[in-house]
């Protein structure tokens, strides 16, 4: 099974226009509320993303919403969430008492918390859980007929990617909106640059370089950085999920999917193969269970062009986050802040800007109200798989094709038993020694 590539025609139809309205083409959604009705929200995952950017960006996009149910794996996270959300809303002058309608009866914790949130009277489910849970929670929400905002990435392995594709097809049949958290797809300067690139501004694409070098995230959840004697292996690894490969997919999947999503977008489809390497030399303390701190992957695309992604999460190094692609008639330079083209058709964006993190929620809520559904499930599945392919190639040191990874690989990182039990941590991957599955 493979994912349909994004063709140039589909790109222009769905993402290349100067207005976000072009993203709102879809079938009539029979589950949409009226334009004046409040959208009722269920929030699953109450970490920094859920209680911060998630519900806050949603409320900034449209305060005519109500948060009516929420759940998290950990009871202490659930207990802290109301006050965290209140403080975050106050920072943005949002009306907490108007938006926050969660009651003790609609607050849930544990491995089955997601089921209870989904069972509440909600229109939209926001999924901000660790990525390993996303295929499971996404499927349950769609089967229940709920619209979904699903944070990136949507899986940690090929098995999960294929599950999300199937669920996305079910959502399409049900007329449900599915929006993914690849916010830079809605940045106006990036949209304009991509439109010109796909119109041939730099000619045939030859090669590219994607770079994301940043800090080690050493201050992430500092209160849980040191393992408590009362925590089982499973609890420890899930409390430190960002640095646990089976829960996060490693940083190339969890964070750098943003960058690789842009690479796939500009290349007009997914890579056909990847080779890479990497490891960890800096993040060796026990607070980082088994992820890497640096990686380098070369992706080859269907037209023969090769794009190298260099990434790291290391404190004390120079930071950089940008993308460059060379063509027969010019060069495009792109970052999360600006875009420019050099060559026969020079271009610099000087148009309006929006907050893309807020815009993605505005589009979600507008689609639900209007019935003009959006379904980005397959697209974010493709971008996630691009990141996973790079990790698989780098972890093993093997040259891996997309078709093999999607159709032959048996890699499935999801635990078979969701309970607080002993769960030995896999060793840190070593290229040439880690086996290809």
Superfamily of domain 193-351+384-407: Dihydrodipicolinate Reductase; domain 2 (3.30.360.10)
The share of the chain scoring above pLDDT 70, in percent, equals 92
When pLDDT is cut at 50, 70 and 90, the band that residue 311 belongs to is very high
Q: What is residue 37's predicted lDDT score, i.e. its pLDDT?
A: 85
Q: Which of 10-19, 56-65, 254-263, 373-382 has the lowest mean pLDDT?
A: 10-19
Distance, in Å, from the CA atom of 324 to the CA atom of 209, rounded to the nearest integer, reads 5
b/e per residue 86-100 (b: at least 16 CB within 10 A): eebbeeeebeeeebb
Q: What is the pLDDT of residue 36?
A: 55
Q: Do residues 177 and 342 touch, judged by C-beta distance below 8 A?
A: no
Alpha carbon of residue 169 to chain centroid: 19
CATH 3.40.50.720 domain locations along the chain: 8-185+359-376
CATH 3.30.360.10 residue ranges of the chain are 193-351+384-407
Helix (H) or strand (E) run with residue 403 in it: helix 402-407
- Paired residues of 127 in beta bridges: 44, 150
Neighbours of 35 (CB within 10 A): 9
**Global confidence as pTM:** 0.92
Q: Is the pLDDT of residue 175 over 70?
A: yes
In the predicted model, is pLDDT for residue 369 greater than 80?
Answer: yes
Is residue 47 within 8 A of residue 80, CB to CB? The reply is no
Residue 359: which residues within 8 A CB-CB, separation 6 or more? 20, 61, 183, 186
Please give the average per-residue pLDDT across 285-307, as a whole number.
97
Whether pLDDT at 416 is above 60: yes
Q: Which CATH number fits domain 8-185+359-376: 3.20.20.140, 3.30.590.10, 3.40.50.720, 3.30.1490.190?
A: 3.40.50.720
Mean local confidence (pLDDT), 130-134: 98
- Model confidence at 406: pLDDT above 80: yes
What is the C-alpha to C-alpha distance for residues 245 and 28, in angstroms, rounded to an integer? 39
Residues β-bridged to residue 294: 279, 312
Q: For 326-357, how does the pLDDT look when each residue is reduced to its tens digit (9 = 90+)? A: 999 999 999 999 999 999 999 999 999 999 99
Residue 270 pLDDT: 98
């Amino acid at each position: 099974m493979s994912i349909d590539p994004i063709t140039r025609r589909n790109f222009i139809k769905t993402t290349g226009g100067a207005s976000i309205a072009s993203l709102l083409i879809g079938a009539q959604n029979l589950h949409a509320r009226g334009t004046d009705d409040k959208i009722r929200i269920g929030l699953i995952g109450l970490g920094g993303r859920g209680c911060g950017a998630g519900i806050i960006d949603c409320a900034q996009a449209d305060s005519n919403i109500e948060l009516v149910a929420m759940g998290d794996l950990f009871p202490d996270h659930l207990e802290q969430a109301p006050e965290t959300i209140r403080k975050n809303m106050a920072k943005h002058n949002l009306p907490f008492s108007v938006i926050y309608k969660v009651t003790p009866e609609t607050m849930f914790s544990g491995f089955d918390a997601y089921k209870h949130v989904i069972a509440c009277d909600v229109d939209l489910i926001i999924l901000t859980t660790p990525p390993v849970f996303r295929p499971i929670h996404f499927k349950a929400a769609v089967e229940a007929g709920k619209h979904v905002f699903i944070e990136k990435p949507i899986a940690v392995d090929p098995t999960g990617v294929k599950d999300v594709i199937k669920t996305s097809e079910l959502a399409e049949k049900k007329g449900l909106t599915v929006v993914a958290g690849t916010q830079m797809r809605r940045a106006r300067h990036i949209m304009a640059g991509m439109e010109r690139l796909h119109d041939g501004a730099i000619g045939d694409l030859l090669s590219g370089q994607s770079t994301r070098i940043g800090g080690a995230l050493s201050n992430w959840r500092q209160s849980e950085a040191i393992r408590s004697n009362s925590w089982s292996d499973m609890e420890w690894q899930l409390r430190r999920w960002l640095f646990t490969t089976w829960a996060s997919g490693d940083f190339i999947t969890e964070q750098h999917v943003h960058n690789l999503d842009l690479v796939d977008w500009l290349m007009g489809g997914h890579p056909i193969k990847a080779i890479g390497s990497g490891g960890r030399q800096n993040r060796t303390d026990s607070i980082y269970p088994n992820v890497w701190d640096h990686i380098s992957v070369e992706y080859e695309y269907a037209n023969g062009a090769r794009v190298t992604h260099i990434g790291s999460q290391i404190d004390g190094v120079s930071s950089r986050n940008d993308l460059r692609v060379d063509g027969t008639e010019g060069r495009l330079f792109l970052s999360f802040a600006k875009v420019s083209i050099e060559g026969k058709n020079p271009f610099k964006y000087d148009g309006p800007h929006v907050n893309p993190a807020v815009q993605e929620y505005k589009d979600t809520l507008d689609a639900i109200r209007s019935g003009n559904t959006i379904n980005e499930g397959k697209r974010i599945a493709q971008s996630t798989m691009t990141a996973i392919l790079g990790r698989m190639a780098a972890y093993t040191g093997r040259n891996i094709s997309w078709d093999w990874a999607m159709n032959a690989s048996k890699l499935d990182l999801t635990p078979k038993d969701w309970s607080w039990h002993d769960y030995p941590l896999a060793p840190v991957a070593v290229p040439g020694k880690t086996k290809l599955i």
